[in-house]
Amino acid sequence: MRIGDTRRVDRAVVLAVVLIVVGGALWLWPAEATRTQVGPQLAALAPSSSSASTRAAAGPTSGAPPTSRSGRLAEVPTSRTDLDRSSRADPAPMAAAAPHTAVTPMPGTTRITVTAPEPPPSNAVPAAITVPFASSHHPGGLQITVLPHGPDINGDVWIPGPEVGISNWSNEVSWLNSPGFSAPFSTHGAVIIAGHINWQGTPGALSDLSEYGRDDVGKTLEMTMTDGRTRSYRITQGFSIDKSQLADESPQGPLHTAIFGQTGTYGRPGHPTEELRLVSCGGQYDPAARSYTSNIVVIAQPST
């Protein structure tokens, strides 16, 4: 074969390769994510009629302690097994989304965008909650210490208080970190924070929780992690649950799900998140039961 023939063949091969590459271009379509939310119809916190009634403390400020036994939120779940059964999900913490790095194109080239590798998952846990707005017992706001803790020896929700030997209990809450319960920066489930409303006349860290769900919807709380990251949550609603109804219900019932459920997915489409649930006692104080008649639950959604 002559050299001229070889060149013609080479040009034909190059042309064929170009046609194959152009013809094989791919079109990518973004998948739509769906948002699911679950929750029963619950008793909303009633609006206040005046500033004074709005900022009134829930329950007595003196007398017998507000909770029975180890300061649990309700009579059920009554065992570690029941508590764990209140949610079957096993949420996996998700690292913060990695930024996209753009490669500057050279003249005459095609612009390409690549994604930087995701950082390894963090083992950080909640360390503190900042309440930046005023409330009845905390006019300057509040900085709350978070203590990670599973259920107590009776299988009840563990709450820091003098009855369990915690001296700084009025400024501390517990984060329920039992297996299957969510942490901040997750893709579903709930971060459950529990604390006392008061104890023998001393306001607790969540003494004004009913106000948060009634008067402070739209305001923001901030969670600080042990690795320094922060997660902002915007208050969306508050409601109360009668403890007697909770005691008569199975751990899989709608009232238990409203407090402990871990199957919900929140956030905007394509960006699933967990939610924050703050839980304390409320309603009237029952001296015979040495406990309040209700639980107060405030829901907050991530805003960052």
pLDDT, tens digit, 9 for 90 and up, residues 114-124 = 444 444 456 89
SS3 percent helix, strand, coil of the chain, rounded to 5, is: 20, 25, 55
Question: Is 23's pLDDT higher than 60?
Answer: no
Question: Is 55's pLDDT higher than 70?
Answer: no
Tell me which of 46 and 62 has the higher pLDDT.
Answer: 46
CA 197 vs CA 42, 171, 176, 296: distances in Å:
20, 11, 17, 10
Domain count, the chain: 1
Question: Is 160's pLDDT higher than 90?
Answer: yes
pLDDT in tens, 130-141: 999 999 999 999
Q: Tell whether 53 is covered by a domain.
A: no
Q: Rounded CA gap, 304 and 297, in Å?
A: 22
Res 156: pLDDT: 80
| Residue 195 structural domain | 62-92+122-302
**CATH code at 257?**
2.40.260.10
Tell me which of 80 and 96 has the higher pLDDT.
Answer: 96
CB 278 within 8 A of CB 126: no
Res 82: pLDDT: 38
Q: Which of 35, 34, 81 is nearest to 275 (CA)?
A: 35
Strand-pair partners of 218: none
Quote the tokens at residue 7: 């060149």
Confidence at 155, pLDDT banded by 50, 70, 90: confident
Question: Is 25's pLDDT higher than 90?
Answer: no
Q: Tell whether 102 is covered by a domain.
A: no
Direct distance between the N- and C-terminal alpha carbons of the chain, in angstroms, rounded to an integer? 69
Res 42: pLDDT: 64
Q: What is the DSSP secondary structure assignment for residue 222, as one 8-state letter?
A: E
Q: Tell whether 31 is covered by a domain.
A: no
Confidence at 90, pLDDT banded by 50, 70, 90: very low
Burial of 140 (0-12, 13-18, 19+ CB in 10 A): exposed
Task: Compute the mean pLDDT over every residue in the chain, rounded to the nearest whole number.
Answer: 74
Q: Rounded CA gap, 41 and 279, in Å?
A: 17
Q: Tell whether 41 is covered by a domain.
A: no
Q: Tell whether 12 is covered by a domain.
A: no
Q: Tell whether 202 is covered by a domain.
A: yes
Q: Which of 143, 202, 201, 152 is nearest to 173 (CA)?
A: 143
Res 151: pLDDT: 80
Give percent of the chain with pLDDT exceeding 90: 50
Q: Tell whether 277 is covered by a domain.
A: yes
Res 48: pLDDT: 53
pLDDT in tens, 179-221: 999 999 999 999 999 999 999 889 999 999 999 999 999 999 9
Confidence at 148, pLDDT banded by 50, 70, 90: very high
Strand-pair partners of 198: 203
Q: What is the pTM of this model?
A: 0.65
Res 27: pLDDT: 36
Mean pLDDT in residue range 71-89: 38
Res 123: pLDDT: 86
Phi first, then psi: give them for residue 149, nearest 5 degrees.
-160, 140
Confidence at 289, pLDDT banded by 50, 70, 90: confident
Q: Tell whether 115 is covered by a domain.
A: no
